[in-house]
Amino acid sequence: MKQRTARRLAAVSMTAVAALTITACSSTDGEETAESTASATPAEESAAGEFPVTLDTAMGEVTIESEPQSIVTLGSHEHEYLYALGVAPVAVPVSWQGYDNGTGPWADEDRIAAGAEPELFEPGTTTYDAEAIAAFAPDLIVATYPNHEMTQEEYDLLSGIAPVVTRPATDSEGNETVEWGVSLADELTLLAEATGTTDKAEEIIADLDAQFAAVREAHPEWEGMTSQVGGYYEGQAFVYAVNDTRNQFLSNLGLDVSAVEGSEAAWVQISAEQLDTTLGELDSVVWQVATTPDARGELEALPLFPSLTSTETGGNVWLADPVLEGAFFANSPSSITYSIEGFVPLLEAALDGDPATEPAASE
């Protein structure tokens, strides 16, 4: 029987997740470009579907002897990548938004096409529940976007159950990867290597590149305009690191997300007194407020908020639709398509320079 556990949104909002992982992530020095979705390189050159295959991951080389038949995923979106590849995991974590089948509606078509009806389980929020994972008798464990940074001890323990695939060791340009900052293309390519579906991954990446390119071609005026994804948590405004997947999405639409000085953290905290210094010149800020409904009022009440360029020009995007916020966070093949359809109208209104056309809250 499937376990359906709805977590309280306030307790597990994306901003809360960011708070739990603030010390675990770091940003890259390089700027993400609008082409970052493409040009991933397989971890090891081999024909699609050939096994054994050896993958170069952040936790070391992992050899998969034969095509996996029983896959367990540990993070918030890896199963959606597998669905897109036509692969059906046997068990996935419960959805932080309480969705059936562990994922939002944007991925349901892919899930059904893959024939996936996974069991749902709580993998553990600070320590992985090895006993629960082992109960599914996996022959592959996937943790490329985990809910907490995996320790060597946990990795060794889980590796005693089945091969464990964590994020790629390096990105397509040879740079060392960081937790929660891997591009969709690099993550998808690694998972395709692990499951013998490289040809399918190449098709997906090409399709997503074409979708992003179509938006950029329709909006050449966005090139060079600055944007960032932020929020408000426990009285503190913040923006995400430049390599965060949400900022990668904006970058792929043609926006410059590197204008905010970064740090070696998953997010950059901003004091009320520094709000204009840090965010003052941004053309647009995408504020995540769906799972923190009081955040908009609290942000707008900050003394310096009216002085922001994004406020004066109507460039603030209030992401109040929980489904769109969830898709934006998921950063999977199906959620990218969903997010493009939802975001482009909001950004068109936000980036036209007219305060009268400030985008309506996306709800």
The pLDDT, as a whole number, for residue 363 is 52
φ and ψ at residue 283, rounded to 5 degrees: -70, -30
- Provide DSSP, 330-352: H--HHHHHHHHHHHHHHHHHHTS
Assign 362 a pLDDT band (cuts: 50, 70, 90).
low
Instruction: Decide the pairing of beta strands 267-270 and 236-240.
Output: antiparallel
The pLDDT, as a whole number, for residue 28 is 39
pLDDT digits (tens, 9 = 90+) for 191-217: 999 999 999 999 999 999 999 999 999
Average pLDDT of the residues in 289-298: 92
By three-state DSSP, how is residue 139 classified?
coil
Contacts of 332 (CB under 8 A, 6+ apart): 77, 80, 81, 84, 106, 107, 184
CA distance 339 to 331: 9
The pLDDT, as a whole number, for residue 208 is 98
Side chain identity, residue 130? A
Average pLDDT of the residues in 53-60: 97
Q: Residue 64 pLDDT more than 80?
A: yes
Q: Is there a contact between 25 and 265 (Cβ–Cβ < 8 Å)?
A: yes
The pLDDT, as a whole number, for residue 360 is 63
The pLDDT, as a whole number, for residue 95 is 92
Contacts of 222 (CB under 8 A, 6+ apart): 216, 253, 254, 255, 347, 351
Average pLDDT of the residues in 287-315: 95
Q: Residue 46 pLDDT more than 50?
A: no
The pLDDT, as a whole number, for residue 160 is 97
Q: Which of 3-12, 266-275, 344-353 has the lowest mean pLDDT?
A: 3-12
The pLDDT, as a whole number, for residue 148 is 87
Q: Residue 10 pLDDT more than 80?
A: no
CA distance 162 to 190: 17
Q: Strands of 140-143's sheet, edge to edge?
A: 119-121, 91-93, 71-73, 140-143, 164-166
Assign 48 a pLDDT band (cuts: 50, 70, 90).
low
Domains of the chain by range and CATH? 49-211 (3.40.50.1980), 215-357 (3.40.50.1980)
CA distance 117 to 140: 17
Which helix H or strand E contains 266, and what residues bound it?
none
Assign 40 a pLDDT band (cuts: 50, 70, 90).
very low
The pLDDT, as a whole number, for residue 39 is 43
**Other CB atoms closer than 10 Å to residue 186's CB: what's the count?**
24
Average pLDDT of the residues in 250-271: 86
Average pLDDT of the residues in 282-287: 97
